Amino acid sequence: MPERLPRQSEDFPAWYVEVVKQAGLAEHGYARGTQIIKAYGYALWENMQAALDRRFKATGHENLYFPLFIPQHMLEREAEHVEGFAPEVAVVTYGGGEELDEPLIVRPTSEAIIWSTYARWVQSYRDLPLLYNQWCNVVRWEMRTRLFLRTSEFLWQEGHTAHARAEEAREEALRMLEVYREVAEDELAIPVLTGRKSESEKFPGAVTTYAIEGLMRDGRALQCGTSHFLGQNFARAYDVRFLNAAGEQEYAWGTSWGFSTRMVGGVIMAHGDDAGLRLPPRIAPVQVVIVPIYRSDAERSEVLEAAARLHAALSGNGVRVRVDDRDQYRPGHKFNEWELKGVPIRIELGPRDVRADQAVVVPRAGGGKRPEATAAVIAGMAAWLEDVQRTLYREALDFREANTHEAPDLATMRDGIEGDGGLWVGPWCGDEECEHKVTEETRATIRVLPLDDDAAGTCVVCGRPATARAVWARAY
Where do contacts with Zn ion occur on this chain (CB under 5 A)?
Answer: 429, 431, 434, 459, 461-462
Counting Cα atoms < 13 Å in the Cβ hemisphere of 349 gives 31
Task: Output the smallest distance, CB 198 to Zn ion, in A.
Answer: 12
Distance between CA atoms of residues 426 and 469, nearest Å? 5
Which of 162/459 has CB closer to Zn ion? 459
Which of 240/434 has CB closer to Zn ion? 434
Task: Output the smallest distance, CB 460 to Zn ion, in A.
Answer: 8
Determine the angle formed by the axes of helices 166-182 and 39-58, rounding to 10 degrees: 140
Which of 323/462 has CB closer to Zn ion? 462
Of the candidates 252, 269, 261, 299, the one whose C-alpha atom is nearest the C-alpha of residue 115 is 252
What does the buried/exposed string (b/e) look like for 230-259 if buried means 16 or more CB atoms within 10 Å of the residue's CB? bbbbbbebbebbbeeeeeeebbbbbbbbbb
Q: Where are the alpha helices (DSSP H) in 59-110?
A: 72-75, 79-85
Which of 187/201 has CB closer to Zn ion? 201
Task: Output the smallest distance, CB 471 to Zn ion, in A.
Answer: 16
Task: Output the smallest distance, CB 405 to Zn ion, in A.
Answer: 19
Residues 6 or more apart whose CB falls under 8 angstroms from that of 167 comprise: none
Task: Output the smallest distance, CB 433 to Zn ion, in A.
Answer: 7
Angle at 238 between CA 232 and CA 239, to 5 degrees: 75
Phi, psi of 52 (to 5 degrees): -75, -50
Task: Output the smallest distance, CB 249 to Zn ion, in A.
Answer: 42
Residues 6 or more apart whose CB falls under 8 angstroms from that of 219 comprise: 403, 420, 421, 422, 473, 474
Which of 18/435 has CB closer to Zn ion? 435
Which of 274/406 has CB closer to Zn ion? 406
Task: Output the smallest distance, CB 439 to Zn ion, in A.
Answer: 13
Task: Output the smallest distance, CB 258 to Zn ion, in A.
Answer: 31
Distance between CA atoms of residues 158 and 180, nearest Å? 12
Determine the angle formed by the axes of helices 297-316 and 374-402, rounding to 10 degrees: 70
Which of 378/461 has CB closer to Zn ion? 461
Distance between CA atoms of residues 28 and 50, nearest Å? 26
Phi, psi of 462 (to 5 degrees): -110, -15
Which of 275/455 has CB closer to Zn ion? 455
Residue 179, SS3?
Answer: helix
